[in-house]
Chains A and B, each alone.
Chain A
């Protein structure tokens, strides 16, 4: 099943500071909900072990994450693929950075996730709203963590 999400966050930081944050694998990983373990391979590639509760589905998902900063520092794409429970999720998320001129930055984000395997077929009945919360939670964390810097 293919799920699409989008949202927007106002971050109380300058655009360069936001850009720096989202280019740091360690920092990005820390925004994933219930992250258990992070292994950074290089500045663009890292693995994260995340504990996930999607309705009745509870367990650990292993994600491979690739940061793809776009030229000009206005957009970051993130590729996330991983799995658990014999299932896989491929997620392509992107965020556009807009300098609000008042030392705050608007983060317009959108993502499209494709889920495959039992989690999509057995758990599909309830996945959409749960996944929505998870993704929204991640970006909300981005805002909170940045604000906390």
Chain B
């Protein structure tokens, strides 16, 4: 195989060498991106298209007394203004949310529930005219009291959603585990550590904002180009909202300039563009502004209380978590319907808790809806951050080294499959090994010595550990669905006579490199050259049904489908091979990437030769060589890792410098180490941003304070640390190629490592916890408070 990346990644896997997998093959998709020939949504223009722009509410909570668009329609080039009145007339005023527990306004219907909510859509001949129009749409608002946090919401003084049957701001309660046994165990534990931990509101913020173009073609068929991580789900959602059957809808998701979960939801702008295209009989284009992008969804906003019981020797006895979730104005979380709080049950982490209990209550507030994703849709980040943060607090309380506390309580590798007290069955793992690799590689002992010296001099150096386990690969259809659709994925492989082929899946890469890794999986199974596979995703006319790419599910689900579809091809190929070699198919053995006649050395046929025969000499077999397969995974996969951060904190300014950061990931079998490493680098940078810089904060008036990149901070190359990586390999026993996943791991595992490191640096001052983001000021304030306390003694 040619074209291995020259810049060999640091990751050396422990897995055995293979033919096409496990190799750092350079990406097949890159030449177009490198030459500016990517095809992103705004690069697509249809003849006669109109431009749409949206009017947004400056109020977080208000009644709408009236909307006057007469001045706006005087702008040269103005075509139409649409409000909820028009949408309701077409019965598309509201959208079902993805997990089916709520519905969401397309355009504000009678009232606005959050700042920047969409109030009207304008359509014009030019983009500039559309933006001139939105300034002149007069909306008469009657401001209402703002509920800007869930603790205010739970009082129910102000009812935010009178449209719902239940007259309360409480959305749902969810719990898992054994409350009675957990309380009993906590009551008899030597130590009980309690901490309130907030995971702030953040945003995925891909560099390319969302957008779409809608056109009803001459046959009345909707051609819908849209930035979607899940095109098939969109098509089905459009069927459910618009009542148009799927054969009349084609959803095309072009190249995506990043997604990270932001391109999962169906946004009101999409519906308005389609409605406009339908009514005006012209193609309609809508591209988000950065402000629209940052104000239309969010991730996290969990307020968590954790209690951990432990014996005085440091053996964990019980875990209890109580969470208040802020869902914003609509319950638009894209979680599976049976899992309103996603996979939050992974909060027991890598540790063998005898008992545990997690309880969660979700509330409406006057904040943007969402709760979707940011390199982790399903609340794994919140859970992982909480347990890893809390483990350090327990270690501090017990005066133990945090690595020793973890070592003492890890689920042992012999315990897998491990049934957790919160109802997950972990597939495999070797936590202690991964931690040992990390500690060795970072030089933990030397770092502790250095830290001791520095502390003696009054310097603030910290070492932070996170030994996380996550749960990905949703999922098994008996548990998981989105809008009722089970979370399987399809794969289709067609081998051409030359031994090249085309691969289609229902997933959609946003930079993850599926065009390369999917080819590697299939090539590995068939002994063919991965360079000769075209990978096609994103067009619902051609791709098999699949739930899309988010929640680290592509490799666990679609990757499994691909391997099994390839094996299906291999079985058919065996028949053709037998015909060509004039033996019984039972005499054939698939070995070293070719069919061999058992007992007849040298009598072999390659897949390339079989492919040609499939079209030229199939015998009595069905000609051709292709397979379609839908894969319903038997279980989730459980990647894990150990991350270590080393920081220095500036006592005067509160500035944290991340001096080193090592990520040792165990993602099971690795398909392409170079790509895996790239995923880890990117996820760590996002984790770094969450730990230190990012937050969608709201002021008391309900103003969203993070509406553009001057206030929602994306780290540059200068702030971002230099990342170090390594990998261990514990294959998933149930996945066809033993793969787990990695896209989310760095973002799930790293925030705790950063925060643990800073708190470790401050621990000589008695600081126990600071909520993210750990801005300079927060760290400075913690240091000053501690110093003043000492001075007062």
Residues of B within 8 A of A120 (CB): 699, 701, 703
Residues of B within 8 A of A1 (CB): 699, 701, 703
* Across the A-B interface, the 8 shortest Cβ-Cβ residue pairs: A117-B58, A88-B58, A116-B58, A114-B701, A121-B707, A120-B703, A1-B699, A87-B58
Interface string of A46-83 (1 = CB under 8 A from B): 00000000000000000000000000000000000001
What is A's interface to B at a CB cutoff of 8 Å?
Answer: 1-2, 83, 86-88, 90, 114-118, 120-122, 124
Interface centre among B141, B699, B710 (most CB of A within 10 A): B699
Interface string of B671-704 (1 = CB under 8 A from A): 0000000000000000000000000000111111
Asked if B705 and A121 sit within 8 Å, CB to CB, the answer is yes
The A-contacting residues of B in range 698-751, CB under 8 angstroms, are: 699-705, 707-708, 710-711
- B472 near A: Cβ within 8 Å? no
Residues of B within 8 A of A88 (CB): 58-59, 141
* Complex alpha-carbon distance, A48 and B710, angstroms: 33
The residue in chain B whose Cβ has the minimal distance to the Cβ of A85 is: B135
Residues of B within 8 A of A115 (CB): 701, 703
* Complex alpha-carbon distance, A130 and B141, angstroms: 26
Residues of A within 8 A of B336 (CB): none
Using A1-B703, A2-B700, A116-B115 as known contacts, say yes or no to A122 and B143 having CB atoms under 8 A apart: no
Residues of A within 8 A of B59 (CB): 88, 116
18 more A-B contacts (CB under 8 A) besides A88-B59, A90-B143, A121-B708? Answer: A1-B701, A2-B701, A86-B58, A86-B134, A88-B58, A88-B141, A114-B701, A116-B58, A116-B59, A116-B115, A117-B58, A118-B58, A118-B291, A120-B699, A121-B707, A121-B711, A122-B707, A122-B710
The residue in chain B whose Cβ has the minimal distance to the Cβ of A116 is: B58
Asked if B143 and A86 sit within 8 Å, CB to CB, the answer is no
Q: How far is the CB of A135 from chain B (nearest CB, A)?
A: 17
The residue in chain A whose Cβ has the minimal distance to the Cβ of B115 is: A116
Task: Offer 21 A-B interface pairs, CB within 8 angstroms, sorted by A.
Answer: A86-B134, A88-B141, A90-B143, A115-B701, A116-B58, A116-B59, A116-B60, A116-B115, A116-B701, A116-B702, A117-B58, A117-B115, A117-B703, A118-B291, A120-B699, A121-B704, A121-B705, A121-B707, A121-B708, A122-B707, A124-B703
Asked if B701 and A118 sit within 8 Å, CB to CB, the answer is no
Interface centre among B702, B703, B710 (most CB of A within 10 A): B703
- B56 near A: Cβ within 8 Å? yes
Question: Of A2, A83, A122, A124, which is within 8 A of B58 by CB?
Answer: A83
The residue in chain A whose Cβ has the minimal distance to the Cβ of B704 is: A121
* Complex alpha-carbon distance, A90 and B711, angstroms: 24
Q: How far is the CB of A67 from chain B (nearest CB, A)?
A: 19
Q: How far is the CB of B706 from chain A (nearest CB, A)?
A: 8
* Complex alpha-carbon distance, A87 and B711, angstroms: 18
The residue in chain B whose Cβ has the minimal distance to the Cβ of A113 is: B701
Q: How far is the CB of A45 from chain B (nearest CB, A)?
A: 14
Residues of A within 8 A of B705 (CB): 121, 124
What is the interface size of chain B, counting residues whose CB is below 8 A from a CB of the partner? 21
Asked if B699 and A2 sit within 8 Å, CB to CB, the answer is yes
Using A1-B701, A2-B699 as known contacts, say yes or no to A86 and B56 having CB atoms under 8 A apart: yes
Q: How far is the CB of A129 from chain B (nearest CB, A)?
A: 17
* Complex alpha-carbon distance, A111 and B495, angstroms: 75
Residues of A within 8 A of B701 (CB): 1-2, 114-116, 120
Interface string of B124-148 (1 = CB under 8 A from A): 0000000000110000010100000
Q: How far is the CB of B725 from chain A (nearest CB, A)?
A: 37
Question: Of A83, A86, A116, which is within 8 A of B703 by CB?
Answer: A116
* Complex alpha-carbon distance, A116 and B59, angstroms: 7
Residues of B within 8 A of A87 (CB): 58
Q: How far is the CB of A51 from chain B (nearest CB, A)?
A: 16
* Complex alpha-carbon distance, A2 and B710, angstroms: 21
Interface centre among A2, A117, A124 (most CB of B within 10 A): A117
Interface centre among A86, A90, A124 (most CB of B within 10 A): A86
* Complex alpha-carbon distance, A99 and B673, angstroms: 82
Q: How far is the CB of A72 from chain B (nearest CB, A)?
A: 29
Asked if B56 and A121 sit within 8 Å, CB to CB, the answer is no
The A-contacting residues of B in range 24-57, CB under 8 angstroms, are: 56
* Complex alpha-carbon distance, A84 and B140, angstroms: 13
* Complex alpha-carbon distance, A120 and B703, angstroms: 8
The residue in chain B whose Cβ has the minimal distance to the Cβ of A119 is: B58
Interface string of B404-428 (1 = CB under 8 A from A): 0000000000000000000000000
The residue in chain A whose Cβ has the minimal distance to the Cβ of B703 is: A120
Residues of A within 8 A of B56 (CB): 86
Asked if A118 and B707 sit within 8 Å, CB to CB, the answer is yes
* Complex alpha-carbon distance, A120 and B704, angstroms: 9
Residues of B within 8 A of A83 (CB): 58
The A-contacting residues of B in range 179-224, CB under 8 angstroms, are: none
The residue in chain A whose Cβ has the minimal distance to the Cβ of B60 is: A116
The residue in chain A whose Cβ has the minimal distance to the Cβ of B134 is: A86
Residues of B within 8 A of A116 (CB): 58-60, 115, 701-703
* Complex alpha-carbon distance, A91 and B703, angstroms: 16
The A-contacting residues of B in range 44-84, CB under 8 angstroms, are: 56, 58-60
Residues of A within 8 A of B711 (CB): 121
* Complex alpha-carbon distance, A1 and B701, angstroms: 6
The residue in chain B whose Cβ has the minimal distance to the Cβ of A81 is: B143
Interface centre among A86, A90, A114, A116 (most CB of B within 10 A): A116
The residue in chain B whose Cβ has the minimal distance to the Cβ of A64 is: B140
* Complex alpha-carbon distance, A114 and B58, angstroms: 11
Residues of A within 8 A of B60 (CB): 116
* Complex alpha-carbon distance, A117 and B55, angstroms: 12
Q: How far is the CB of A73 from chain B (nearest CB, A)?
A: 29
Using A87-B58, A88-B59 as known contacts, say yes or no to A121 and B703 having CB atoms under 8 A apart: yes
* Complex alpha-carbon distance, A8 and B183, angstroms: 60
Q: How far is the CB of A120 from chain B (nearest CB, A)?
A: 5
* Complex alpha-carbon distance, A83 and B57, angstroms: 12
Residues of B within 8 A of A114 (CB): 701
Q: How far is the CB of A142 from chain B (nearest CB, A)?
A: 27
The residue in chain B whose Cβ has the minimal distance to the Cβ of A3 is: B701
Q: How far is the CB of B547 from chain A (nearest CB, A)?
A: 36
Q: How far is the CB of A94 from chain B (nearest CB, A)?
A: 19
Q: How far is the CB of B78 from chain A (nearest CB, A)?
A: 18
The residue in chain A whose Cβ has the minimal distance to the Cβ of B135 is: A86
Residues of A within 8 A of B115 (CB): 116-117
Using A88-B59, A114-B701, A116-B58 as known contacts, say yes or no to A122 and B708 having CB atoms under 8 A apart: yes
